């Protein structure tokens, strides 16, 4: 990285993730020589909050010269990543939070709290890094210390994903439908193909010919890559729930070696980016409407033995999908790159 202080561009600055990334840069005090907020034409001139009391005006990404940046963070709009990320990576480090490059074997897939160490050996002033989906980040963050302590043989997981996982359109849809239904009107179900308010939908993204959703397939593929366990059996069901922010996961992990629930709690408490709530603690069980709103932790609760199988644990995971799993991860990766360049 050429500058002592990086020049940073945030592409998709008007998205939920883009706004969260800019807020996270300010909160983490990532010192920048310059900070550019970029998006497509529909959002030019909008202003997004930066440091306390200040705002940045959004400029058009299409007219931006990426030679003016050392770090470029793409924030969730796949169309922008598909069009501009490769070109930007010829000039700067690109951190892409969209799904565009996650399945590319030649692009590192990084969750900072899981495999961020892979970046420390990377040299140079440019390149492309993909960030996993939010559910994958939450799952891998919790599985990583368990895998190191006792090995992993199989993971069964059901994810209960907030509407913000589909962007601002999902948040607006849930708000509109809730108001409509409470007013005695009908819900149109546009964003998710059916009503989401007061409902759960066992589908996140389209199904393939095998009846598996794209989200379920990416969850197991990304978790394997993040953990470095290409043969790990991951069985996933992804469900959309009427929650604005915060993904929840019910996880059933079959270990290679015995690990009792009390020992698992101790292992997880030492894990990076994790907060454990014991059953006997005064704090409440983690839920997306409460503790998940703290943006720098993945919360784990209800850790218990699976009484139907040996070497198996059940537990509940909650994390803010936009702030912790997307924005916090993106800025953490940026900080690793900046520190590696010094």
pLDDT band at 18 (very low <50, low <70, confident <90, very high): very high
| Burial class of 161 by CB neighbour count within 10 A (0 to 12, 13 to 18, 19+) | buried
Asked if residue 125 has pLDDT above 80, the reply is no
Handedness of CA 287, 289, 290, 294 (dihedral sign): positive
Specify the pLDDT at position 89. Answer: 96
Write out pLDDT tens, residues 25-48.
Answer: 988 877 888 999 999 888 888 888
CATH number for the region 135-321 comes to 3.30.360.10
The two three-digit tokens of residue 335, written as one number = 């900080």
Q: So where are the chain's domains?
A: 7-132+326-341, 135-321
Average pLDDT over residues 336-340: 87
pLDDT band at 285 (very low <50, low <70, confident <90, very high): confident
Among 83-97, 146-160, 274-288, where is mean pLDDT lowest? 274-288
CA distance 274 to 300: 7
Indicate left, alpha or beta for 167 from its phi (over 0: left) and psi (-120 to 50: alpha): left
Residues in the chain: 342
- Phi first, then psi, for residue 284 (nearest 5°) are -80, 165
Q: CATH says 7-132+326-341 is which class?
A: alpha beta
| Burial class of 65 by CB neighbour count within 10 A (0 to 12, 13 to 18, 19+) | exposed
Asked if residue 155 has pLDDT above 60, the reply is yes
Specify the pLDDT at position 43. Answer: 81
């Amino acid at each position: 990285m050429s500058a002592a202080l990086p020049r940073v561009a945030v592409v998709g600055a008007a998205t939920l993730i883009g706004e969260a990334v800019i807020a996270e840069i300010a909160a983490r005090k990532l010192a920048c020589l310059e900070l550019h907020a970029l998006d497509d034409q529909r959002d030019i001139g909008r202003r997004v909050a930066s440091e306390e009391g200040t705002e940045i005006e959004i400029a058009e990404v299409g007219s931006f010269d990426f030679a003016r940046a050392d770090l470029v963070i793409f924030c969730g709009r796949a169309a922008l990543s598909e069009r501009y990320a490769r070109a930007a990576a010829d000039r700067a480090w690109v951190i892409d939070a969209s799904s565009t490059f996650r399945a590319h074997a030649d692009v590192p897939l990084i969750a900072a709290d899981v495999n961020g160490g892979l970046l420390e050996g990377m040299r140079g002033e440019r390149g492309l890094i993909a960030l996993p989906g939010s559910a994958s980040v939450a799952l891998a963050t919790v599985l990583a210390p368990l895998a190191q302590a006792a090995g992993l043989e199989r993971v069964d997981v059901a994810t209960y994903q907030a509407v913000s996982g589909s962007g601002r359109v999902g948040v607006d849809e849930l708000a509109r439908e809730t108001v409509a239904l409470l007013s005695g009107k009908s819900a149109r179900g546009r964003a998710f193909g059916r009503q989401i308010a007061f409902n759960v939908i066992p589908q996140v993204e389209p199904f393939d010919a095998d009846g598996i959703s794209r989200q379920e397939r990416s969850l197991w593929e990304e978790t394997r890559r993040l953990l470095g366990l290409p043969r790990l059996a991951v069985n996933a069901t992804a469900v959309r729930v009427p929650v604005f922010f915060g993904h929840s996961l019910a996880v059933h992990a079959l270990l290679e070696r015995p690990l009792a629930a009390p020992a698992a709690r101790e292992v997880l408490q030492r894990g990076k980016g994790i907060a454990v709530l014991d059953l006997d603690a005064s704090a409440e069980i983690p839920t997306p409407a409460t503790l998940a709103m703290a943006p720098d932790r993945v919360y784990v609760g209800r850790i218990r033995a699976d009484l139907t199988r040996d070497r198996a644990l059940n537990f509940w995971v909650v994390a803010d999908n936009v702030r912790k799993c997307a924005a916090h991860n993106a800025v953490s990766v940026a900080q690793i790159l900046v520190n590696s360049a010094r």
